[in-house]
A and B are shown apart, each in its own frame.
Chain A
Amino acid sequence: AQSVTQLGSHVSVSEGALVLLRCNYSSSVPPYLFWYVQYPNQGLQLLLKYTTGATLVKGINGFEAEFKKSETSFHLTKPSAHMSDAAEYFCAVSGAGSARQLTFGSGTQLTVLP
């Protein structure tokens, strides 16, 4: 079975500071990896995804993530936090070449302090 672990259900950073949201996954097949963001009272929207190719993936709003197979990680980073980044972030994994569905982590609530 595949699974996703997001370390830290709540993360606080100061405006302008580095954002680092951690995601580790387990999958017995090559994974597809996603980060979604949810703003208050809205549905989820895709930030970025890794399917194949370059392991450093750039997404919207200045976010990026690096697929590290040896560490089974897909951490999300942004060099400088903005107040508008305050939201809940979900890491998700699905399995290439199999019938596995998309599996979500439990989410990390990001607070940006002025």
Chain B
Amino acid sequence: NAGVTQTPKFQVLKTGQSMTLQCAQDMNHEYMSWYRQDPGMGLRLIHYSVGAGITDQGEVPNGYNVSRSTTEDFPLRLLSAAPSQTSVYFCASSRDRQRETQYFGPGTRLLVL
């Protein structure tokens, strides 16, 4: 099993550009989530999904969209990039949202100029 994969590993954007961060898992997990990691702030939840076709907002959803058309894939879209979105983004999956281990991808480092 590859686990959780994320692409790209690193991306530079200009303010106002859009892009999609890809996330895929091969563990048949129902629950998937996106976090951003900023220095001194831990991980903050952006969006999550409890199954195909079901998504919801987390703590910091503004400026981001998600969709979940299959169990395996959970892409994160930046609609119009801003410097405040410079961060490291992690995708995670688990069997449920509360008590099961979350498996993290290697992260995408995003720089918005």
Contact = CB atoms under 8 A, between A and B. Distances in A.
Interface in B33-88: 33, 35, 40-45, 48, 58
Interface stretch (A12-20, A62-70, A90-98): A90-98
A104 B90 CA distance: 13
B101 A46 contact: yes
B43 A104 contact: yes
B45 to A, nearest CB: 6
Interface of A: 4, 9, 32, 34, 36, 41-46, 49, 51, 90, 94-96, 98, 100-102, 104-107
B97 interface: yes
A107 B35 CA distance: 14
A102 B105 CA distance: 16
B7 interface: no
Nearest to A50: B99
A32 B106 CA distance: 24
